[in-house]
Amino acid sequence: MQTQKKIKGLRLILKTARSQGKSIALVPTMGNLHEGHLQLVRQARERYDFIVCSIFVNPMQFSENEDLAAYPRTLEADCESLRSESCDCLFLPCVKEVYGEGLEQQTSVHVPGLTENFCGNSRPGHFEGVATVVTKLFNIAQPDAAFFGLKDYQQFLVIQKLTHDLALDIAIHGIETHREESGLAMSSRNNYLSPQHKEQAASLYRCLQSCAEKIQQGNTDFQQLEEDAKKELKQASLKLDYFQICDAQSLLASTTDTQSIAILGAVFIGKSRLIDNIRLQRS
């Protein structure tokens, strides 16, 4: 696996790969890789010839009340994991390489509509930071495709929209959430959880599952379903951020006519804020 810290160097590597007729896939990450990240690399490997994984803890997507310095960094283990998955290239830029003139002078990318609620409301500026860094990575690597986990479903829709709106010729692949045995969605933030907190946190997925089953059985009283789920989460000693049944494309509240549904949930436990979702198609 080649490792490159400079934009110019990465572009030279990718230019060589293209000259050999290879298709290129990008897997953007912030490191602290877990099985969910590695599944993205495996899926990319199955479909494309040359796989680039980026590790960059993006300061632009952290708000003032979030501890950027505390984000887990496990570079040595990450590199070993990527080598074991036959990743071709690791892009490992520093903040100055990505934001050469500083964050205050950085042109930013704003995606309207989808970014205004849920995580956008809880983490002001978060999606602008995500959209900006993803757009920069797309322009740096110019891949044929990029792979993202669907645990961050709102983020996935934001990236889909910016790719479409900016006419970027990149296929965006969403890969299903990889879960622990309890059903808890794998996340770098799970590292902050004690075993007891992990068991409590798994209640979020159980609530999502229960809500989805009731909808599949024909229950369309979405407001009551949301209230019931919120009570269950409170009983599990989870502090609620949001729990809502939405249209899976617009993220507007579902109506009785909505066919494609996403149920989104976010909770606080210990030092962590955890998100998860389930998507379903009504028959």
**CA-atom Rg of the chain in angstroms:** 19
**Tokens standing for 240?**
């609620």
Residue with tokens 């570079």: 75
- Which residue of the set 37, 126, 173, 197 is catalytic? 37
Instruction: Provide the sign of the torsion angle of the four alpha carbons 252, 256, 257, 260, taken in this order.
Output: positive
For residues 200 and 189, give the distance between their C-alpha atoms in angstroms, rounded to a whole number. Answer: 14
Q: Greatest CA span in the chain, whole angstroms?
A: 58
Interior/surface letters 105-123, b for 16+ CB within 10 angstroms, e for the rest: ebeebebeebbebbbbeeb
Beta strand 2-4 with 89-91: parallel, antiparallel or unpaired?
parallel
Give the residue among 155, 158, 157, 137 at the shortest CA–CA distance from 146.
Answer: 137
Catalogue the E-assigned strands of the chain.
Answer: 2-4, 24-29, 50-55, 89-91, 145-149, 171-175, 239-247, 260-269, 272-281
CA distance 264 to 277: 5
Our answer to whether residue 34 is catalytic in this structure is: no
Query: In terms of C-beta density within 10 A (0-12 exposed, 13-18 middle, 19 or more buried), how is residue 124 classed?
Result: exposed
Any idea which residues carry the catalytic annotation?
37
